[in-house]
Amino acid sequence: MDSHNPATGERLETYDDHDEGDIEDILASADDAFESWAETPITERQQLLERAGELLREREDEYAELISEEMGKPIAESRAELEKCAWVCDFYAERADEFLADEALGSEPHSRTFVSYEPLGAVLAVMPWNFPFWQVFRFAAPHLTAGNVGLLKHASNVPGCALAIEEIFRDAGYPEGVFSTLLAGSDAIEDVIADDRLDAVTLTGSEGAGRAVAEQAGSELKKHVLELGGSDPFVVCADADLEAAAETAATARTINSGQSCIAAKRFIVVDEVYDDFLDRFVSEMESLEVGDPLASDTDVGPQAREDLMTDLHEQVEESVAAGATLECGGEPLDREGYYYPPTVLSEPPRDSPAADEEVFGPAAAVFRVEDDDEAIELANDTRYGLGGSVWTEDLDRGERLAREIEAGCVFVNELVKSDPRLPFGGVKASGHGRELAEAGIHEFVNRKTVWVQSAGADDDVPDTE
């Protein structure tokens, strides 16, 4: 398994894949570790998680450079990603015991009824390359602390990040087998999901990968959570602060060099302010610095792989051929590496790739609509439903429109982002289940109902289902 620097195309490192025997040993180790880990007091598990967060901060320089070299993220964003990972460790180190405390419920006299939250076992995390640390810690922080053991199948272009994360948990003092990395291709995952020692699976990735994992996990009757693609709308109302909206729009489209599921991708602007917003937005996109991801002033780095850049350019070309106007960008940069410039397409046809597909790169589609009603109609005219953003100075209007957008999360006068304190996930083809906050930690536990009847109490409670 090779890792390559997308800024140069050069090979960084070669790693030995795990073969069938290695995978068997890892599964056995996880199975052996689960019982004692589940019985470890949660306060001890929280202390270990706190230590993992400390290590992330201590090693930020080392790991930020690793992220930027393996997948091309600008170094400032790599640092921010690591800080967010430390934050999610802090959050669950402080709150997990509260979230997993027994929940008392009322029932009959002379009885005590409650829900206990107990770990499921081994959980497989199939994770993507675009946020190679955050996606993993978003999974691991809550679910290891809940008493599960974790297996990571990371994307094949970030093996160094995968092993570094395993190193963090090991150095933090986690017992052997509680968190392990599988350096294996996607073809090995089917057997892992089918294994009786695996209890659940979570995937962040493409719609196609999600369907494949959901089909198998469902056939095995194993719990699964999916966070898939998105084509998030960014709705600009007539009364929006256009300067703030345009500036944030450029960031929302190009964060992580445009390679983010929750990036704003379809900019839906009411006709009254369309031309003004478009001019401001194009100016903001053209002002972004494209360059070496290790340089501190870089805003947009390379695409993570050459094939991803090629696919992005084909979507742009097909959209222009269908009738979209190219306002800026639109051609791979003539330099070493897989660089694609910030690109704006105005008024693409509704059936063009820019409107109908997930565009995974720094290319934005800007649509003109008559009013708020048409804006919501277009915002919901997609098979995706991950996030959305509404821009208006009327907060009541913003909340009303936010409620009408079909998505797992909608922000008013703010870009879409994940936050450890808030549930995160999508609807429609963007997946199901939730991550983060209290809702996220409850996804991979057995919510066990317990009824304790006092001795000698009347036992004529009806036996019903």
Q: How far apart are the first and last CA of the chain?
A: 53
State yes or no: is 261 an active-site residue.
yes
- The encoded tokens of residue 284 equal 């903001």
Instruction: Kindly give, in sequence order, each residue whose CB lies less than 8 Å from that of residue 111, ignoring residues fewer than 6 positions away.
Output: 451, 452, 453, 454, 457
Place of tokens 């009786």: 196
In the set 81, 227, 404, 406, the catalytic residue is 227
Round to whole Å and give the CA distance between 285 and 257: 12
Round to whole Å and give the CA distance between 453 and 111: 4
Cα distances (angstroms) measured from residue 176 to each of 335, 349, 394: 45, 54, 54
Q: Residue 118: in which H helix or E strand, if any?
A: strand 111-119
Q: Is 311 left (phi over 0), alpha (psi -120 to 50) or beta?
A: alpha
Where do the H-state alpha helices sit in 323-460? Answer: 353-356, 372-379, 395-404, 437-441
- Note whether 156 and 1 are within 8 A (CB): yes
- Note whether 378 and 369 are within 8 A (CB): yes
Round to whole Å and give the CA distance between 124 and 199: 8
Per-residue DSSP letters for 207-226?
A: HHHHHHHHHHHHHTT-EEEE
**309-312-313 Cα angle (round to 5):** 85
State yes or no: is 227 an active-site residue.
yes
In the set 261, 327, 357, 404, the catalytic residue is 261
User: Which amino acid makes up residue 253?
Assistant: R
Closest CA to 4 of 348, 221, 307, 237: 307
Q: How many CA atoms lie within 13 A of 441 on its CB side?
A: 25
**Neighbouring-strand partners of residue 390:** 235, 412
Active centre residues (catalytic): 227, 261
